[in-house]
Structure 1
Amino acid sequence: MKFEVEYISFFVIQVDGEDNQSGKYCKHYQTLDGEDYAESELSSFLGSEFTKIAKRSAERNPKAEQVPTKIGRFAVEPGYDLESNPNYNLFARLRMAETKDAYVEHAEALVQAYMDTSAIRGGAVFIVRAKHHQLFDEPFIFVLKCDFEQKIARITDERSLLNKVEMAINAKNMKSIMYPHMPEEGMLEPWELKIHQSSHARYFEDFLKYVEYEKSMPEMMNEQVMGFVHQYIEQVYEDNEEAREKETQEMELWANSEKRELQEKWTQEQVVEASSFLIEQKPDIEMKMKVGNMTVRALLADFGDRLHIAKLGNRYVVVIEGDGLEFDKGISPVELLHPESLDQIVDRIQRKAEEEVDY
């Protein structure tokens, strides 16, 4: 997957002050056309970055709430076109610029908009227009940001040994935007772009104020489960408003707790029925829980089929079944076990629970 650069504008952003707001400066260093870029050091520095960005996978509904790579969609009011979105227009003008001067003007406008974000850091910004001639006639826009690396030294020769570099950049932790999004080779989605940034940062999300992102799977699950919970509360406490409000508050607190305990409210059948709606939408939804100091990780679809939760006295028991057992590296005596019957194990757990009660 080879991209051929048509224009690349190189900007340097400097930020003074610890709060990143005391002073922000942007300087346009140079804009190169395709021929000049191919002969410049930038071409070896960026190397295969465009291909890497294009091939970097991203999910519309990621498995975690904070992920480094996201797909964003330009937001418009009902009945309006893409042209009504200010963020889209920043990229569209760069794609359609007919002269080098026009391209520089639009690139500067994009960088100035980026500088208005709250958590901006100093570094180099590249605004690139490139084509993939084998697949498309239309160009792509890449926005690349490299933060400055502090206290960098490089080995030069045997006489001077070290040469300090005041403002060094590298491509290792490069942030990027690619527009339009290419879900797969040969397919473009003009309503979408792809961003890549540190998972805890929101540089590009703050910059692209009129771009929306789909909810993560945990967020979607939380919403749907709480929908089931509210339905349950309405049915159980239909004629008791005070109890209904109290139960709703308790369940909201439970849902927003970092560590949630088993609530012991629903039957096995109710849990399986509610789970089936989620599994139908996404069969590989994961479920993770802690039993004492042990972590159990499985698919939600395994509950009631291969994973079972029971209670003996005041103790919880998780039963996991499968056709075989495999162990990781590091041999342990457990691997030599001749398993007991399930009845024997249940009996032993029961005796332990009774002994703890007597004690």
Structure 2
Amino acid sequence: MEFSISYLSFYVIEIDQQKDQRTYSHYQTLDEATFDNSALSQFLEGELKRVVKRKAQSHPNHAQAPTKLGEFVTEGSHPLESNPNYALFQRALHAQTSADFKKESEAFVETYVQTSAVRGGVFLVCQAKPKKYFDDLFLFLLKCDFQDDVAVLSDANTLVKKVERAITTKNMKSIQYPYMIEEGMLEYNKVKIHQSSHARYFEDFLPFVTYGDPMPEVIKSQVQTMVQDHVNETFSSESSERQEMEERLESWSASETRELQEQLNHHQVVEATAAITAHIPDSKTTIKLGEVVVKFPLDAYGDNVHLAKFNDRYVLVVDAEQVTFDKNASPIEFLKPDHLEAVIQRMQAGDE
């Protein structure tokens, strides 16, 4: 999807670490005609398309996901317009003159320079619309950090010349508003943020935007709720068994590595996994048995994946119509598998 720029405000942010000063300068605010004839047109060519194409999830797979969705926070029955961040995005999105757009853009950069880990660079605020298919307006906030140790070829004597305050679109941070689910389907209560840096300062300057918990935390919370419900149904409120189970559940929740708890039966676990995968179809889990690690879709448990005990040891049974291997060759690829009963007999003989 290609975009045409309606307005673009160009700011330069300077950071003086010794004096702990942060300043910004407004260089220009361009309209469509002046932008098309400027060097920025080539510099940003294709960048907005890349920003829009990046996939984002309300609940990313991990906390450090570079691209995520944020949602404007509202309290009670208050409308979205009561959210200051939403109101600012809306004003900038619908600004109809260069002066109005500059005014709203400046509000973004003023807030941004107050974030704790801000870095110097170029801050761009763009109002744009697709060149084809539909006329909905988009707002893009782009940040290019200054690059250190950048040089260009000079002459035979000096060889290279250092470039001060060089910028590049590589690792450019971005905010897209509104979020586009697919072409023509927009969500005005959400923004899409992209930043590859571990410092989260490019999202910190939007204090009234919230971000969904990573998917592992969502699943963990659901599991904890299900087990707590089981505890409530199984044990009386004053029993020592209930107190012990709740302590174990609390310890399980706080632990980074967890061991098999052996509290629920097969059917209870199947029902619990079905409840999770009904809301999160792509849920996966990883099990480690000794030194063997197995990763599989959560909904495969009870169907193609089974966990059992045999002679006080744990056994994972996986059935499939086909077995494939990675690129590392091994003799196992030429195995003619025995029947399961023969394997169990061999395991039993090995324990005797």
Please give the range of the TM-score, normalised by the shorter of the 2 chains.
over 0.9
Q: Give the 5 Å matches for 1:102-113.
A: 102-113=100-111
Ranges of 4+ aligned residues in structure 1 off by more than 6 Å: none
- Match of residue 326 from structure 1: 324
Count of aligned pairs between the two proteins: 352
- Match of residue 175 from structure 1: 173
CA distance in 1, matches of 2:348, 2:119: 60
Q: Given the alignment, which residue of 278, 281, 295 partners 2:279? A: 281
Identity of aligned residues (%): 43
Q: Given the alignment, which residue of 61, 64, 67 partners 1:63? A: 61
Aligned partner letter, 2:166:
A
CA distance in 2, matches of 1:175, 1:225: 35
Given the superposition, is the C-alpha separation of residues 187 and 158 from structure 1 closer, same or farther in structure 2, using an over 3 Å criterion?
farther
Q: Helix, strand or coil for the counterpart of 2:257?
A: coil
What is the deviation of 1:240? 3.3
- Match of residue 346 from structure 1: 344
- Match of residue 115 from structure 1: 113
Are positions 1:7 and 2:7 aligned together?
yes
CA distance in 2, matches of 1:182, 1:130: 14
- Match of residue 42 from structure 1: 40
Bigger mean CA offset, 203-212 vs 59-68: 59-68
Q: Give the 5 Å matches for 1:144-223.
A: 144-198=142-196, 200-223=198-221
CA distance in 2, matches of 1:97, 1:265: 60
CA deviation profile, 1:65-100 (whole Å, cap 9, x unmatched): 332111222122233222211101221221232322
Bigger mean CA offset, 299-308 vs 195-204: 195-204
- Match of residue 138 from structure 2: 140
Aligned partner letter, 1:94:
A
CA distance in 2, matches of 1:67, 1:326: 30
CA deviation profile, 1:228-262 (whole Å, cap 9, x unmatched): 11112122221534432332122111122111111
CA deviation profile, 1:18-75 (whole Å, cap 9, x unmatched): 8xx9221212222222222222221111110011111211122333333211122212
CA distance in 1, matches of 2:53, 2:203: 21
Q: Given the alignment, which residue of 214, 229, 232 partners 2:230? A: 232
Q: Which runs of 5+ in 2 are unaligned?
A: none
Contact 1:75–1:212 (CA<8 Å) still a contact in 2?
A: yes
CA distance in 2, matches of 1:290, 1:89: 49
Q: Helix, strand or coil for the counterpart of 1:66?
A: coil
Bigger mean CA offset, 341-350 vs 314-323: 341-350
Aligned partner letter, 2:175:
I
CA distance in 1, matches of 2:160, 2:263: 68
Q: Helix, strand or coil for the counterpart of 2:15?
A: strand
Q: Helix, strand or coil for the counterpart of 2:314?
A: strand
Q: Helix, strand or coil for the counterpart of 1:57?
A: coil
Given the superposition, is the C-alpha separation of residues 344 and 145 from structure 1 closer, same or farther in structure 2, using an over 3 Å criterion?
same
Aligned partner letter, 1:289:
I
Are positions 1:27 and 2:25 aligned together?
yes
Q: Give the 5 Å matches for 1:243-282.
A: 243-282=241-280
What is the deviation of 1:326? 1.1
Aligned partner letter, 1:9:
S
The normalised TM-score by structure 2 is 0.93
CA distance in 2, matches of 1:339, 1:104: 71
- Match of residue 97 from structure 1: 95
CA distance in 1, matches of 2:282, 2:188: 29
Q: Give the root-mean-square deviation of aligned CA atoms.
A: 2.0
Q: Helix, strand or coil for the counterpart of 1:309?
A: strand
Q: Helix, strand or coil for the counterpart of 2:343?
A: helix
CA distance in 1, matches of 2:243, 2:111: 46
Q: Helix, strand or coil for the counterpart of 2:236?
A: coil
Contact 1:58–1:71 (CA<8 Å) still a contact in 2?
A: yes
Contact 1:65–1:218 (CA<8 Å) still a contact in 2?
A: no
The normalised TM-score by structure 1 is 0.91
Given the superposition, is the C-alpha separation of residues 340 and 199 from structure 1 closer, same or farther in structure 2, using an over 3 Å criterion?
farther
Contact 1:312–1:353 (CA<8 Å) still a contact in 2?
A: no
Are positions 1:85 and 2:89 aligned together?
no
Aligned partner letter, 1:152:
V
Given the superposition, is the C-alpha separation of residues 240 and 9 from structure 1 closer, same or farther in structure 2, using an over 3 Å criterion?
same
Bigger mean CA offset, 185-194 vs 296-305: 185-194
